[in-house]
Every structure is written in C-alpha cells, then in structure tokens.
Amino acid sequence: MAHDVPSRRLRSPTTEAPAARYALMALALLFLALFLLLPLAAVFIEAFRKGTGEFIAALGEPDTLAAIRLTLIVAGISVPLNLVFGVAAAWAIAKFEFKGKAFLTTLIDLPFSVSPVISGLVYVLLFGAGSALGPWLKSHGIEVLFAVPGIVLATIFVTFPFVARELIPLMQEQGNGDEEAALSLGATGWQTFRYVTLPNIKWGLLYGVLLCNARAMGEFGAVSVVSGHIRGLTNTMPLHVEILYNEYNFVAAFAVASLLAGLALVTLVVKTLLELRYGADIAAGRKH
C-alpha cells in the first residue's frame, strides 16, 4: 500500500457497531409503528372503510353535530377561563413571596395526580341530588349535573394545570427585573402586564393554551361521570365515540374519532413549530 493507513478503521468511541445501531433503530421504529402509527392509521382506515360518502354522512348525523358543537362550547368556555386562572396563578407564584406558596404550587398539580373519574365524582358529590348545593341550585332553575355547566366545571378542573405549569418556570426564570423597570419608568400595573410581562411569556402561554385545548376537547373520564350521556344534549365528542362504538356503529364511531385524532395531530404540529420558535426566543431571553 502506498499510504500509511491503519489496517483497522476504528469507530468513534461512542458509536456502536452498524449491526447494533440498525437493530436499535429498527426496534424503536417497530415499537412506534406497532403502538402509535398502527392504531392511528386504524382509526382513519375504519372511518373511511365504507367510503367518503358514509364518512361524511356519519359526521352529518344531528347527534354527532350536537356532540361536536358541545365539545367546541366546552373548550370555548374552559380554555379562556383556564388561560386567565393559569396566568394569575403563575403570576402569583413566580412574582410574589407569600406564605403557603409551596402548598399552592402543589395544589395546581392536583388535577394531574388525581384520576379524572375522581374529579368527576367530586362534582357529583358537590352538586348531586344528595348534596346541599344541588337541590338548592335546582330550585333556582340551575342544573349543574348532567348538563353543560357540570361538563364545563369538570373540564376546567382537569385542564387547570396546563397553562400554569407552562408559565411558572418561565416567569420564575425571568424574575421581576423587567416589571420593576417598567414601573420605575411610570407604567401602571396594567401597562406593565400588557407591554412587558405578556410579550415575555407569549410563546409559553400559547403553548400552554394549545395543550390545554387538546385536553379539554379530548377529556373523557371526568366528563363521562358528570355528563349523563344524554344524546344530542350532554354528549361531547369522546363520549359520543364510545356510545356509537357500543352500538356497533363502527364507521360513525371512527369518523368522530378521526376528528379527535386530527385535532391531536394539528396540536402536535403546531406545538413542534412553536417549540422551534419558542426555543430560539428563550435562548435570546437568556442571552439578554
């Protein structure tokens, strides 16, 4: 040989042998395909099994339309409310020192640690026929349980942590400096929030709202307990999927399910895009 080349080509120390590498990759891909892609594909395949016409007809059912409408209403009420609650809670925890702060932080996590079914049951106990509150409200013409208010309450409870959890670390990291600067320059509290705090947290906030919305539309357990499954009235999309499925109406069940799956996919894509954007933003914030 003309060149002095080592007779053995050595790999970088952290690189495995090709066989091991491909085996690991194949295993990961197989796992993903089996447990994530296959079920997702199955949803869409089942939905379109009898053709696009059947799919559209299934979605056009009055009960299905009512379920979609209810889901949108519930998300439309609970997401903005949780946006406000989440910002308020994150603001309080990140920017102020007070007694019981650690307790409040733990409390925000409660909906994550409690089974959604329990969350629903809490409202049944609180507003049910046997409770003190339920009959009184009923006598004033307000139905909570097995009606829209109960579903909204259960959804708010379950989705409460998303916005707050997203904002607390972000706001803690940013500290109070920018707000103090704005105040010392003469800005009012509202102006400080509007022009300084909100722009600083906007990407994190959007991200939290997105996750909150996905969960609000997809929540099953808690809503199932308080809804009463009244067709066309208190059925949300996830509940409606279950009912249709139990009636062996597979095309309709999977058609509605494909809408929910589509929502999840859109959320994921937007979330990934946001992460790209939001990551750069955070990095810029740190450099500052």
Partner 1 sequence: MEVRVSKIRKEFDRYPALHDVSLDIRSGELIALLGPSGSGKTTLLRLIAGLEQPTLGRIFFGTEDASLKTVQERHVGFVFQHYALFRHMTVAENIAFGLKVRPRGERPPKAEIRRRVEELLEMVQLSGLEKRYPNQLSGGQRQRVALARAMAIEPKVLLLDEPFGALDAKVRKELRRWLRAFHDRTGHTTIFVTHDQEEALELADRVVVMSQGRIEQVGSSDDVYDRPNSPFVFSFIGDSASLPVTVGEGAVRLRDVPLGIAPRGGDVRSGEGTLFFRPQDVTLVTDGGPALEGRVATSRRLAGTRIADLDIGTPADPHHVEIEVPLDADATAGTLIRFRPTRWKIFPAEG
* Footprint of partner 1 (CB under 8 A): 177-178, 180-188, 191, 195-196, 199-200, 284-285, 287-288
User: Token pair for residue 133?
Assistant: 């509150």
Inter-residue contact 25 to 33 (CB < 8 Å): no
**Distance of closest approach, residue 125 Cβ to partner 1, in angstroms:** 40
**How far is it, in rounded angstroms, from Cα 249 to Cα 241?**
9
**Distance of closest approach, residue 283 Cβ to partner 1, in angstroms:** 9
Residue 50 is inside which H or E element, if any? none
- End-to-end Cα, the chain, rounded Å: 56
Q: Which is nearer to partner 1, 141 or 186 (CB)?
A: 186
Residue written as token pair 């994190």: 204
Q: Which of 234, 238, 240, 237 is nearest to 221 (CA)?
A: 238
Sorted by sequence, the CB contacts under 8 Å of residue 184 that are 6+ apart come out as: none
Q: Which is nearer to partner 1, 60 or 169 (CB)?
A: 169
**How far is it, in rounded angstroms, from Cα 210 to Cα 216?**
10
Q: Which of 100, 79, 97 is nearest to 172 (CA)?
A: 97
**How far is it, in rounded angstroms, from Cα 109 to Cα 251?**
38
**Distance of closest approach, residue 104 Cβ to partner 1, in angstroms:** 18
3-class secondary structure, 80: helix
**Distance of closest approach, residue 92 Cβ to partner 1, in angstroms:** 18
- Phi first, then psi: what are they for 6, rounded to 5°? -60, 140
Q: Which is nearer to partner 1, 187 or 206 (CB)?
A: 187
CA 205, 210, 211, 215 torsion: positive or negative? positive
Q: Which is nearer to partner 1, 51 or 199 (CB)?
A: 199
**How far is it, in rounded angstroms, from Cα 78 to Cα 216?**
7
Q: Which is nearer to partner 1, 35 or 195 (CB)?
A: 195
**How far is it, in rounded angstroms, from Cα 263 to Cα 66?**
18
**Distance of closest approach, residue 198 Cβ to partner 1, in angstroms:** 10
**Distance of closest approach, residue 272 Cβ to partner 1, in angstroms:** 23
3-class secondary structure, 33: helix
**How far is it, in rounded angstroms, from Cα 112 to Cα 119?**
10
Q: Which is nearer to partner 1, 8 or 288 (CB)?
A: 288
Q: Which is nearer to partner 1, 192 or 224 (CB)?
A: 192
**Distance of closest approach, residue 287 Cβ to partner 1, in angstroms:** 5
**Distance of closest approach, residue 122 Cβ to partner 1, in angstroms:** 36
Q: Which is nearer to partner 1, 133 or 181 (CB)?
A: 181
